[in-house]
Amino acid sequence: MAVQVIKGNIVHAPEIDRLDIVENGYLVLKESKIEGVFVHLPQIYQNVDVEDYGDRLIMPSFADTHMHAPQYAMLGMGMDLPLLDWLNTYTFKTEAAFKDTGYAREVYQKLAKEMIANGTTRVCAFSSLHLPSTMILMEEFEKAGMTGYVGKVNMDRNTGDVLSETTEESMRDTLKWLDDSSEKFGHIKPILTPRFTPTCTDELMTFLGKLAQERNLPVQSHLSENTSEIAWVKELHPDCRQYWESYKKFGLFNERTVMAHCVHCDERERKAIKDNGVWVAHCPDSNINLVSGTAGVRKMLNEGLRVTLGSDIAGGALLAMNQVITAAIRASKAKRIETQWTDDFLTVAEAFYLGTTSGAKFFGAQGGFAQGDTLHAIVVDDSSLPLSAKKLSVQERFERALYLMNKDNIVAVYSDGRKVK
């Protein structure tokens, strides 16, 4: 039986209010699956070669549950524009360029490598509406060692001239894409991706809802990001009291659904999210950059919603998920100020849980370094970070790493048991 042992300062968050730290601990894998984390190496593994990372930190790798892969090409640009202008004058043009498969290959190869380099091994990504480029994105993610879901975007109305498909094209391409991709990749699977309610006709939504049910497919979309968007949905679906119902009525709002943003969800909408088992992809940097609002993450957590983190590039300008984690802390602090110091902010441990374990659960893992999961981990060398007079605890070094590290500090990455960096 193949056994692997990895040694270092192990930090993980099995629960939201629990950070487990084992100094100079041992992570034991059997047949690529985690057997356990040990303070002392059990006798039966004494003869196994140890991959010794010395004084470095070993922690779970990150899960990015919402991002637009083609928008990597416009990262950090257009930040003076509000959401709908930003979409129309910038984003749709950027995505339209992914008609060109050569260009898509170049961008997606770089994106996939950068994500792995920055320690993201699980992703739930929007592609563009283009079938061939979507296949290229899946291929490049697979090659780089990523795991997760990619969606060909569906958008058959209200999209302007540069980027559009007819209802028929959208349905035909979706079926072909599912045929082509469902079994092709070991680690990257398709996810149904209606862009958002305003850009999808009822006919298309009906089709996607049926498909989701028949083939048991996951679904990703956007929910209650921006007040103008919410008003628009209301106009388009006068029969729906709230935005979420425009997904629910087509069968696109269930425990395999992840909804990005959820900034303006009131108590009733949050209850619907919870009751339907829907996952929230909180995108803190995007919500601030596009001045969408500050999501009430503390309320969601108190009410038992399943909250994960998304970079939402390029509404978010941060690809590295440790920066998204600290952005979530900062956004929760802005929310605390906005609520007159009422809502508690996210602690470092809580935000780390959201960006690792909680995201991993969306993809079916238990999260943390749980027995039976395959290994998703990063190894951090923090020796180049600022000098402290006293010996830092592992917890302090962990916190500092989340705030300060960049990809150069990430010296090894494991994804689904494979060493990919």
Provide the binding-site residues for a second copy, judged by CB under 8 A: 72-80, 93-94, 97, 100, 103, 106-107, 110-111, 285, 288-289, 291, 293-294, 317, 326, 329-331, 333-334, 336-338, 341, 345, 347-348, 385-390, 392, 396, 399-404, 406
Give exposure, 113-126, as e/b (b: 16+ Cβ within 10 Å): bbbbbbbbbbbbbb
The amino acid present at 257, given as its one-letter code, is: T
The distance of Cα 281 from the centroid of its chain, to the nearest Å, equals 7
Of 95 and 373, nearer to a second copy (C-beta) is 95
CB of 111 to a second copy, least distance (A): 8
Which letter, b or e, does each residue of 9-48 get, where b requires 16 or more Cβ atoms within 10 Å of its Cβ?
Answer: bbbbbbebeebebbeebbbbbeeeebbebbeeeeeebeee
154, β-bridge pairs: 194
Residue 258 · residue 279 · CB < 8 Å: yes
CB of 329 to a second copy, least distance (A): 7
Which is closer to a second copy, CB of 204 or CB of 329?
329
- Quote the least distance from Cβ 407 to a second copy, whole Å: 10
User: What distances in angstroms separate CA 231 from CA 197, 265, 292, 365, 404, one per listed residue?
Assistant: 12, 13, 14, 37, 40
What dihedral do alpha carbons 396, 402, 405, 406 form, nearest 10°? 170
For residue 141, the minimal CB distance to a second copy (Å) is 16
Considering the complex, state which of residue 302 and residue 406 has its C-beta at the smaller distance from a second copy: 406
Smallest separation, CB 41 to a second copy (Å):
30
Q: Which is nearer to a second copy, 201 or 294 (CB)?
A: 294
Task: Return d(Cα 322, Cα 204) in angstroms, integer.
Answer: 37
Q: Note the residue count of the chain.
A: 421
Closer by beta carbon to a second copy, 80 or else 275: 80
Nearer to a second copy, 248 or 421 (CB): 421
Least distance (Å) between residue 106 CB and a second copy = 6
